[in-house]
Structure 1
Amino acid sequence: MKATPTAIPEVLVIEPKVFGDARGFFFESFNGKAFDEAVGRHVEFVQDNHSRSAQGVLRGLHYQIQQPQGKLVRCVRGAVFDVAVDIRRSSPTFGQWVGEELSEDNHKQLWVPAGFAHGFLVLTETAEFLYKTTDYYAPAHERCIQWNDADLSIGWPDIGAPPQLSAKDAAGAALTRAELFE
């Protein structure tokens, strides 16, 4: 496993070693010991999630203000543009974002620690997205920041049409009015 820090050092791109031949491929998608070494501490995951979305669907920018979740995310079918936004007011990278294309072909994963908002845009006809979380889903504590907040200026890929949003995501708060982490 190769772990590469992004422009926000706590957010890591994880690349497994893939063994492939004419029959297909094999890789270890998660190894607790190797992952803990990569992030520099023990991380315990408590929940696995799986979503399927059509092209142009944008999910996010989500986070839980209580029971914050670290997420290890990957795309197993299709491709997505995945984004993590630092929403910790005391952080030197507060308000900054990083994005990475995750796909069934590149096998990359993104480690998004607690204290970050997370979202993704589906780039292919469909995408299936898997992620592990460090805390349980708590709908009462879920929050959403506008995907197109001018203060964030996220460089979402141009897909030729406006993204498809859920009602909850369309009603996301502006960063300046959102409940954030200290």
Structure 2
Amino acid sequence: MQLNRLDVADTYLVTPQVFPDDRGHFLEMFSSPAFKEVVGHEMNVAQVNCSLSVKGTIRGLHAVSLPGQARYVTCPQGAIIDIVVDVRLGSPTYGKHVAVELSSENRHALYLAEGLAHGFAPLTDEATVVYLCSNTYAPGREVQINPFDPDLALPWPDTGAELLIADKDRTAPTLREAAERGLLPTYVECQELYAQLNGLTLDGENR
């Protein structure tokens, strides 16, 4: 499999090698050696989540306050658009987003490091999303950003279906409001965490 950096720092698109035959096909959805070679450290999988969403649903934008929760997202059934937003104060890509399609046809996956926010919406009548998480769910450490923040202007799909969104997401603060309330991680804090995961100090020296 290949991991390619996307325009939001510390976000990667994962493209697996698919082996088709007359029975169907086979692929590796996750490879720890391939992941470590590109990202620089192994992904500690502490929790695996699975959600089913119907067309019209928007889930997100969600992040987790540090030490955070890195996520490795796949869509084994149906198709979604997944949008990653950089909410790390001081990041060179702060406030920017990338949108990728994950589906049972392309078999792509998406990795986003700790401190980043993401959300997704189905492009098909139903979509199943499975994601590996580096830490377990921690009530009280969730960070929600309004998916309809006009400053972000995210490209949510217009499927014609009734909009379905949780109250906590509909009433979540904008990115600017979240920053003013002190809810967001800083880029420096996140870089320190990534360096620790890679066994380095922030200046790149081995520990």
TM-score range with shorter-chain normalisation?
A: over 0.9
Corresponding position of 1:145: 145
Partner AA of 1:180 in structure 2? L
Determine helix, strand or coil for the equivalent of 1:139. coil
Any unmatched runs of 5+ in structure 2? 187-207
Q: Which residue pairs with 2:16 in the alignment?
A: 16
Structure 2 Cα separation of the partners of residues 14 and 75 of structure 1: 12
Structure 2 counterpart of 1:175, one-letter code: L
Could you say which structure has the higher helix fraction? 2
Listed as ranges, the matches of 1:41-120 within 5 Å are 41-120=41-120
Q: 1:161: Cα distance to partner?
A: 4.4
Alpha-carbon offset, residue 102 of structure 1? 0.3
* 1:180 pairs with 2:184: yes
Uncovered stretches (5+) of structure 1, i.e. residues with no partner: none
CA contact (8 A) 1:67 1:138 kept: no
Equivalent position amino acid for 1:62 in 2: H
Question: Paired residues, what number?
Answer: 182
Length-normalised TM-score, structure 2: 0.84
| Compared CA separation, residues 161 and 126, structure 1 to 2 (3 A) | closer
| SS of residue matched to 2:63 | strand
What TM-score does the superposition give when structure 1 sets the normalisation length? 0.95
Are the counterparts in 2 of residues 84 and 112 from structure 1 also a CA contact under 8 Å? yes
In the TM superposition, residue 176 of structure 1 has moved relative to its aligned partner by 0.8
1:87-138 per-position Cα deviation (integer Å, ceiling 9, x unaligned): 1112100010101000000000000111111100111110000000111111
- Contact 1:67 1:136 (8 Å CA) reproduced: no
Provide runs of 4+ in structure 1 moved above 3 Å: none
Q: Which amino acid aligns with 1:58?
A: I
Whichever residue aligns with residue 154 of structure 2, its letter is I
Sequence identity (%)? 38
The 2-side partners of 1:81 and 1:122 are apart by 6
1:73 counterpart letter in structure 2: V
Q: CA deviation at 1:28?
A: 0.9
2:120 counterpart letter in structure 1: F
Write the letter of the residue equivalent to 2:172: G
| Structure 1 contact 67–141 (Cα < 8 Å) conserved | no
1:50 and 1:131 in contact (8 A); partners too: yes
Give the corresponding residue for 2:160: 160
